[in-house]
């Protein structure tokens, strides 16, 4: 591993770009290779086996690109395949997910509180957040709701549309989310509609986007291994399906991205 090697990041689609945005903010001198696995979107409705297979292939590709850190910018893939990615990267690269830093943040800031969590079916059914919280003997009460249609709408680009408010009204009124003291966005697509979620709650509760703590942890890991790049900043964005659909609207919310390139893995 060398400091001037790139950071590899992947998700099922555009959601992981919310993490990339934060990476660019905190680590502007890092080279980044992003892979959006659009051909297999949504991960949230796939089995653990399918997601693991994809994660292995993408990890192989990112290792071929000499990535020093592979960051799974997807809760569904973090829940289903982090162990496999970690095993594959072994001593070749560092591996990171979006869940562990989020749990740490909850434990440090919301212990004893009732937290709502929005995520895909894969993440919710894996119980990964509950299990990790239990392991910490935490006093957090977590109540999770799967919100798959929200992910689909965001991936389709309905970010500033009334569609989102209609979906939020349905989902956020669910039993699971009543009397919560904070809401965790446990799908990397959801920070793209954080404003609308906050507005639903009249800004009365914290809406947590873990991207900041995920990237702070990555910064710490790289720094601990003496792997911080001081002279890079190149970024490549690949997608496993036709880039035209993504390229047409992506610049509206990610001006840093010039264009996605098609790459079959
Ligand atoms: N953005 C992803 C996540 O954090 C995946 C969404 C999906 O593909 O269903 O879970």
Map tokens 């949504």 to a residue.
42
User: Would the CB of 9 count as within 6 Å of ligand 1?
Assistant: no
Confidence of residue 34 (pLDDT cuts 50, 70, 90): very high
Does residue 132 surpass a pLDDT of 80? yes
User: Would the CB of 240 count as within 6 Å of ligand 1?
Assistant: no
User: Would the CB of 151 count as within 6 Å of ligand 1?
Assistant: yes
Please state the atom number of ligand 1 nearest to the C-alpha of residue 44.
9
In this prediction, residues 57-79 reach a mean pLDDT of: 98
Quote the ligand 1 centre to 230 CA distance (angstroms): 31
Instruction: Name the residue of 71, 120, 149 whose CB sits within 8 Å of the most ligand 1 atoms, as the mutation to test its pocket.
Output: 120
Within 13 Å of residue 146, how many CA atoms lie on the same side as its CB? 13
Q: How many helices (H) and strands (E) does the chain have?
A: 11, 10
User: Would the CB of 120 count as within 6 Å of ligand 1?
Assistant: yes
Pairing mode of beta strands 94-97, 69-72? parallel
pLDDT, residue 259, reads 86
In this prediction, residues 228-243 reach a mean pLDDT of: 95
Cβ atoms of 183 and 207 within 8 Å: the answer is yes
Does residue 248 surpass a pLDDT of 90? no
User: Would the CB of 41 count as within 6 Å of ligand 1?
Assistant: yes
Does residue 76 surpass a pLDDT of 80? yes
What average pLDDT does the chain have? 96
Helices (H), 15-127: 17-26, 48-64, 75-89, 99-110, 121-126
Quote the ligand 1 centre to 226 CA distance (angstroms): 31
- Percent of the chain at pLDDT > 70 equals 99
Confidence of residue 255 (pLDDT cuts 50, 70, 90): confident
Quote the ligand 1 centre to 122 CA distance (angstroms): 9
pLDDT, residue 245, reads 79
Each residue of 168-225: pLDDT tens digit?
999 999 999 999 999 999 999 999 999 999 999 999 999 999 999 999 999 999 999 9
Quote the ligand 1 centre to 139 CA distance (angstroms): 27
Confidence of residue 240 (pLDDT cuts 50, 70, 90): very high
In this prediction, residues 85-107 reach a mean pLDDT of: 98
Which candidate, 21, 210, 42, places its Cα nearest to that of 110? 210
Question: Model-level pTM?
Answer: 0.97
Quote the ligand 1 centre to 45 CA distance (angstroms): 9
Pairing mode of beta strands 32-36, 235-239? parallel
Q: What is the token pair recorded at 183?
A: 């809401």
User: Would the CB of 42 count as within 6 Å of ligand 1?
Assistant: yes
Does residue 58 surpass a pLDDT of 90? yes
Quote the ligand 1 centre to 142 CA distance (angstroms): 19
pLDDT, residue 250, reads 81
In this prediction, residues 231-253 reach a mean pLDDT of: 88
Does residue 247 surpass a pLDDT of 90? no
The sign of the CA dihedral 249, 253, 259, 264 is negative
Residues 6+ apart with CB under 8 A from 146: 44, 119, 120, 121, 123, 124, 125
pLDDT, residue 189, reads 97
In this prediction, residues 114-128 reach a mean pLDDT of: 98
pLDDT, residue 257, reads 72
pLDDT, residue 226, reads 98
- Percent of the chain at pLDDT > 90 equals 92
Does residue 145 surpass a pLDDT of 80? yes
Residue 187 annotated in active site: yes
User: Would the CB of 43 count as within 6 Å of ligand 1?
Assistant: yes
Which candidate, 167, 165, 155, 148, places its Cα nearest to that of 249? 155
pLDDT, residue 246, reads 84
Residue 174 annotated in active site: no
User: Would the CB of 187 count as within 6 Å of ligand 1?
Assistant: yes
Confidence of residue 253 (pLDDT cuts 50, 70, 90): confident
């Amino acid at each position: 591993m060398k400091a001037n090697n790139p950071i590899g990041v992947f998700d099922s689609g555009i959601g992981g770009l919310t993490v990339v945005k934060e990476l660019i903010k905190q680590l502007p001198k890092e080279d980044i290779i992003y892979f959006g696995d659009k051909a297999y979107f949504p991960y949230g409705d796939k089995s653990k086996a399918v997601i693991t297979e994809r994660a292995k292939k993408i990890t192989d590709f990112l290792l071929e690109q000499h990535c020093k850190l592979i960051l799974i910018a997807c809760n569904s893939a973090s829940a289903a395949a982090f162990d496999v990615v970690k095993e594959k990267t072994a001593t070749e690269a560092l591996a990171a997910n979006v869940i562990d830093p989020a749990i740490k943040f909850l434990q440090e800031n919301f212990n004893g509180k009732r937290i709502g969590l929005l995520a895909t079916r894969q993440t919710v059914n894996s119980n990964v957040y509950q299990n990790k919280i239990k392991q910490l003997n935490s006093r957090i009460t977590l109540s999770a709701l799967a919100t798959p249609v929200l992910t689909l709408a965001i991936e389709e680009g309905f970010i500033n549309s009334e569609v989102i408010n209609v979906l939020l009204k349905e989902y956020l009124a669910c039993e699971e989310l009543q009397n919560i003291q904070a809401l965790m966005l446990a799908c990397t697509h959801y920070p793209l509609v954080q404003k609308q979620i906050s507005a639903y709650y009249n800004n009365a509760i914290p809406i947590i986007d873990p991207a900041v703590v995920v990237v702070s942890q990555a910064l710490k890991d790289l720094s601990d291994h003496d792997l911080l790049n001081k002279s890079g900043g190149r970024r490549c964005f690949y997608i496993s399906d036709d880039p035209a659909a993504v390229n047409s609207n992506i610049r509206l919310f990610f001006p840093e991205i010039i264009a996605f390139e098609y790459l079959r893995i």
